[in-house]
Structure formats: structure tokens, C-alpha cells
């Protein structure tokens, strides 16, 4: 991934040198070098995530979760400081750790209700995952209010398959607080990526562990975010949103929305 960034810088420098040495206007610059560099960045991350530094079980989930493509869409790069919201056992925390590298950092955040599940299984799994391996990952146990008041500042945040938990297992007010607290800890211009299982209007989405995309957008806009992107990368037309997400007929293959939100730069 770093190699891809170096390529972009090298291309930009070459254009500047050429402009200074010519007295005549140059032809418009082709976008192809930058596009090639972006593609190489994604390939580099795919190679990193495919390595045996990750467990076979974790790598098996990549086919449906498409982490390298998702993070490319969100603009996550080497050296960034990130927060993984409701990290649970940390699957995405490890992906983010490998993405940002030694010069970046990841806060694996969990609110109390996530840590209380199954006699603390999520916290145990997260500690085991971080261990001495993921030296750029820090466990952060905090309520939404504590997160918002922490004074931390991150380049980006990700909420992977859990906005519905805040909304239904806590409350609509808690979900709103989650978004406003995330807004507070993002740097101006920072990005929030939201992934969740699509739900149908009027359905019992609480029981199905789903949420309507329009509701997630409503919460984000109310918190002050701008909608910058809405990707079909994780969509699946074979899921009609009527099955519970853990049903064997659809588990791991749900139709998911992917939103790219941005905190205004000023």
C-alpha cells in the first residue's frame, strides 16, 4: 500500500518538474497513472490480507466482506489513525491494523453492552487477537459519551455490521449518540464508513438483526455528516431481507449497504 502512495507522489513530482521547464502549455495530463497506482494499492492490501499472518477462518470471510475493496472505497491508507466502532472480537480491527501499518494506529472500541455478551466473550477474543501481534491496536472500552468526550482525534472510523445493534439492542437515542460521538472524535474532513445488513421498511428488523439504509442515513445526517458515497459493493440481490441474518440460508451472504460519510472540513 505504501508503494502505491509513493508511485502517486513520484508521478505528481514529474508533472511539476515538467511544468517548470516548459515555456509552452502542456497537453492535459492523463488520469491513467493515478488509476494504475490506486489499483496497485488495492492489490498490495489484498496480498497482505491473504497472507498466513491472519487465521484461515478470518481469511475465509474475505470473500463476502471484501475488505480490500471496502477500504479502498473509504480511502483508508497507510499511516492513518482509525477507530473500529463496536469492534467485538476484532475481525475488522486486525484488517485495519494491517492496512495502516506501523505508522498508523487502530482503537478497537467496545461499549459495555457489547462486552457483556456471552460472559465477556468479545473482550476475551479481542485480547487474544491483539496479544503481542497487533502492536498498533489499542483496546478502548467506553460508552458512547465517554468516546465523544475522550479528546481523541481519528482520521477515519468504521462501523461494520453493528449500527442495528446500537439502534435496537440499546435504543434509537443511543444510536444517535453513537453517531454524534463518532463525529466528535473525527478530525475535520474525517471519514466514517458504515456497513450493515439491509432491512425492509415495516419489518421486524430488530428480530432480523437488520436496519433500513434510509434510517442509517437519517442518523448520520442528524449527527452532521455529509453523504459522500453509497456503494453496491456488498449488495446481494438474492437476499430479500426477510430472513434473520444468522439463518443458514443467508448467513455471510446478506445484502449489505456501504456508506461513505464525511465530517465537513470546516
pLDDT tens readout for residues 150-193: 999 999 999 999 999 999 999 999 999 999 999 999 999 999 99
What local confidence, expressed as pLDDT, does residue 146 receive?
98
- Give the tens place of pLDDT for each residue, 210-243: 999 999 999 999 999 999 999 999 999 999 999 9
**112 pLDDT higher than 50:** yes
Q: In the prediction, which pLDDT does 45 show?
A: 85
Q: What is the pLDDT of residue 260?
A: 98
Residue 20 pLDDT: 40
258 touches 196 (CB < 8 A): no
The pLDDT assigned to 43 comes to 61
| Closest CA relative to residue 85, chosen from 149, 132, 148 | 148
Domain boundaries in the chain?
A: 1-50, 55-262
Q: What angle do CA 226, 70, 138 make, to 5 degrees?
A: 85
Which pTM value belongs to this model? 0.83
Query: Of 3.30.70.1140, 3.40.50.150, 3.30.750.24, 3.40.109.10, which CATH number belongs to 55-262?
Result: 3.40.50.150
Amino acid at each position: 500500500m505504501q508503494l502505491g502512495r509513493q508511485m502517486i507522489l513520484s508521478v505528481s513530482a514529474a508533472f511539476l518538474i515538467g511544468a517548470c521547464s516548459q515555456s509552452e502549455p502542456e497537453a492535459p495530463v492523463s488520469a491513467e497513472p493515478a488509476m494504475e497506482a490506486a489499483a496497485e494499492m488495492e492489490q498490495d492490501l489484498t496480498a497482505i490480507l491473504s497472507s498466513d499472518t491472519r487465521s484461515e477462518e478470518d481469511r475465509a470471510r474475505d470473500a463476502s466482506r471484501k475488505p480490500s475493496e471496502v477500504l479502498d472505497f473509504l480511502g483508508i491508507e497507510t499511516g492513518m489513525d482509525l477507530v473500529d466502532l463496536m469492534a467485538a472480537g476484532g475481525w475488522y480491527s486486525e484488517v485495519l491494523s494491517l492496512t495502516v501499518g506501523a505508522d498508523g494506529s487502530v482503537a478497537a472500541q467496545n461499549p459495555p453492552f457489547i462486552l457483556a455478551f456471552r460472559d465477556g466473550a468479545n473482550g476475551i477474543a479481542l485480547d487474544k487477537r491483539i496479544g503481542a501481534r497487533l502492536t498498533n491496536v489499542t483496546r478502548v472500552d467506553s460508552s458512547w459519551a465517554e468516546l465523544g468526550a475522550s479528546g481523541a482525534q481519528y482520521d477515519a472510523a468504521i462501523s461494520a455490521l453493528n449500527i442495528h445493534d446500537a439502534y435496537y439492542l440499546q435504543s434509537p437515542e443511543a444510536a444517535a449518540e453513537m453517531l454524534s460521538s463518532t463525529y466528535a472524535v473525527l478530525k475535520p474532513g474525517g471519514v466514517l464508513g458504515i456497513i450493515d445488513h439491509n432491512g425492509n421498511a415495516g419489518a421486524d428488523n430488530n428480530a432480523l438483526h437488520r436496519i433500513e439504509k434510509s434510517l442509517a442515513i437519517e442518523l448520520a445526517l442528524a449527527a452532521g455528516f455529509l453523504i459522500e458515497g453509497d456503494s453496491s459493493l456488498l449488495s446481494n440481490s438474492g437476499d430479500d431481507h426477510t430472513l434473520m441474518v444468522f439463518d443458514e440460508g443467508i448467513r455471510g451472504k446478506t445484502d449489505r449497504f456501504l456508506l461513505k460519510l464525511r465530517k465537513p472540513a470546516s
